[in-house]
Structure formats: C-alpha cells, structure tokens
Amino acid sequence: MKFETKAIRLQTDRSQHHEHSTPIFATSSFVFDDAEHMRALFANEAEGNIYSRFTNPSVREFENKMAALEGGEDCIATATGMAAIFATFASLLSSGDHLLMSKAVFGSTFKINDDYLRKWGITYDYIDPLNMEQWTALVKPNTKLLYLETPSNPGLDIIDLEATSAFCKKHDMLLIVDNCFATPYLQEPLAFGADISIHSATKYIDGQGRVMGGAIISNKKIIEQIYPFMKNAGPSMSPFNAWVLSKSLETLAIRMDRHCQNALQIATWLESNSQVAYVNYPFLPSNTQYEIATKQMKAGGGMISFELKGGINAGRKLIDAREMISLSANLGDTRTIITHPASSTHSKLTPEERAAAGITDGLIRLSVGLEHVDDIIADLKL
C-alpha cells in the first residue's frame, strides 16, 4: 500500500461491535481470563494487554502506523517529543559513555545534556552539522550515539543522512535523527541509514495543536532496549492522545502537501523582499543545501526562518503588526505561527550557544499553516 492508504487503513482489529473507525480504549487496566492467562501475559508468553502505562490498543495502533509509515520494524509512543528523546538517551547510554550532538537542536535537548546526562557521568560534545570533516576529532572510544535534527530547529540546516550514516557505522555508533519537521511523509531517515527516528507528534503528526505526544521508531532490537524504561519510568502516551494522533495520520499527506505548497510560495516572496536579509527554506534553489534536501526529502516542509535587515527591532515590529498569524511557541499547526526563538524556544541557551546553533537575535521562525497563502502574505506586513 502507498503512504496515504497505510495511514488510513492500518487499524487495530475490530471488536465484536464491528466498528469502522477504531474507538478509544480509555481504560487504565485490563482483565484476565483466568490465573493461567494472567501468568502467561506477565511472563511474555502470550500477547495481550495488562496495564495502559505500557500496553493499550489505542496506543499500539498509533505505534504500528508510525512504524509502517517510517519504514521501521517497531515504535514506542511517548507522552511528548522530549519524553521520546529522554527515554532514548536514558535507555541507550550508561555512565562513562560519550554522545555527539549537533549544535543545531531544540533548546530543551541541550538542557537534557547539561542538567541530567552530565550528572550521570555521560559526556558529550557538540558538532557543526554542516562540517563533517571536524567530527572525527571528537569521536572517542566510548562514543555511542550521534544525535541530530534535519531539518534543524530553527535554522533549517539539512544534514546528508547517507554520509552521516556511513560515518556512524565506521565509528560503531548509532545515528538518531529527529524527524519532527519533515514527518514520515516527507523524509524516511531509516531508509538513508539512520538507526532511530524520533518525532514530536505534538507538531505535524497532530497538525491542529490539540494534543501532545512523541514517537521512537527503530528496529525491534533497539526498541526492546528502550521498552523497559518506558514500562518502569512511565512517560507513556494516553489512549486519548493516541486515538487523536492515529486519526490525524489519516490526513497527514494532504496536510503536508498544502503546508509545503504555501511555505515555498512564502519563502520565494520573502527572498524577493528588499527588507529581508536572508531566508532559510530547504527547497529554495538558492539554498546551499538544496541538492541534499531534494535528494532525501519529498518537499521542503512547512517551516521557514528568516531575518530582516533591521535586525531584532524590525522583527519585533513585524511580530506586533500581525493581525491573523498566531504568536506561539508551537509549530506544525493548521494555523500559521510566528516565533522569535532567541526570546522563547531557545532563550535558556547562552548567547554563545545560540550563535553556534545559527540563532541570531533577529531570527524569525515561521510555521506556515493551511490558510490561503495570500492571507498569510498579507499579514506579514513588510
């Protein structure tokens, strides 16, 4: 089946009620047929549900869909995207291990390193995602993982996944890719050699700003290593959120087509505007990473970042002049959202850390929605 068909037709088996659309399994626990059935489930000798912290039909349907759409063998759903990142690190890293991470990642990911991994005796170094020649010098005998975002937040850096995968295999480390901005529809990191793909399902997977969630997709061996952390620590996705996200996947392809169409048109318009210093958008032919982006992505996505020639003051004026566009820290919504990363999503970083990640004080991030493109452009009063 094609992507669009799988997103709609892969559902939990129907119950005795023969429902057409899978219902929400809003239950905290499940009953057993008898003592032997209970024993077999707890001993992993039989398939079934025990407790919704770690097994629930609604959650499992979402997990199965995400694995199928991403080309993975299995998936674990989490309460949020940050829970997915934290669960992966906590499960695969031990005291004494070393982590390589792109300088261009979401602000809270930096804080996991500084506030938690460091005190557990896990060391890390940040790499320039666009300068692979510098990476080898940072690899250590105890380096276990390389983590990156592509496209990155908010600079929209595009990293060559095939080349990065080859680098990781050469140095015997796992490659983890945050695929949030692209979604499984636009990019399949596992097909380019990544070991793990991570999503904040809160963003485009939901697509309407309603619920939070995360997903970890990989092969069965790696998922089995992460599952005990999920079971015991409990950063689990609720059945209701899983049901919403599973239904949202049914419209992901058609929504992303419109996001990309609008974003490319707006990025082109911004690039031609005399007040704009530069525009970051993967599918602009002028983008220095255009060739890589078009190789590994179906389209450019719905995110744009840009800076006005007037710097931070011009950016604030643009934000305060808007009438329709939402001012929010979220992204991936049907509604267009504008954000100033330096004072919001990446405000906890030092100025030096923001500069290393390509975040200037005047950078504007635009999550292009599904409104008519003419109305979005009209509200960007340049």
Section 329-342 average pLDDT: 93
From residue 67, alpha-carbon distances to 45, 73, 245 in Å are: 23, 6, 14
265 in the same domain as 204: no
Domain that holds residue 363: 252-379
* Domain edge (last residue) among 205, 234, 249: 249
Residue 362 · residue 312 · CB < 8 Å? yes
- Closest to 73 (Cα-Cα) out of 82, 62, 85, 63: 63
* Domain edge (last residue) among 230, 249, 268: 249
Total structural domains within the chain: 2
Q: What is the pLDDT of residues 266-322, one digit of tens each?
A: 999 999 999 999 999 999 999 999 999 999 999 999 999 999 998 888 888 999 999
Section 254-264 average pLDDT: 98
Tell me what pLDDT residue 261 has: 98
In angstroms, the CA 352 to CA 133 distance is: 22
* Domain edge (last residue) among 223, 249, 275: 249
CATH code of the domain covering residue 162? 3.40.640.10
194 in the same domain as 88: yes
324 in the same domain as 188: no
256 in the same domain as 172: no
The residue count of the chain comes to: 382
From residue 107, alpha-carbon distances to 74, 149, 212, 304, 356 in Å are: 28, 12, 18, 18, 12
Rounded to an integer, what is the distance from CA 137 to the centroid of its chain? Answer: 28
Q: Which amino acid is at 8?
A: I
Q: What is the pLDDT of residues 102-134, one digit of tens each?
A: 999 988 999 999 999 999 999 999 999 999 999
The pLDDT of residue 345 is above 80:
no
From residue 330, alpha-carbon distances to 124, 212, 280 in Å are: 28, 11, 19
Which pTM was predicted? Answer: 0.95
141 in the same domain as 119: yes
Section 346-352 average pLDDT: 76
The pLDDT of residue 355 is above 80:
no
Tell me what pLDDT residue 362 has: 83
Q: What is the pLDDT of residues 6-40, one digit of tens each?
A: 999 998 777 777 888 888 999 999 999 999 999 99
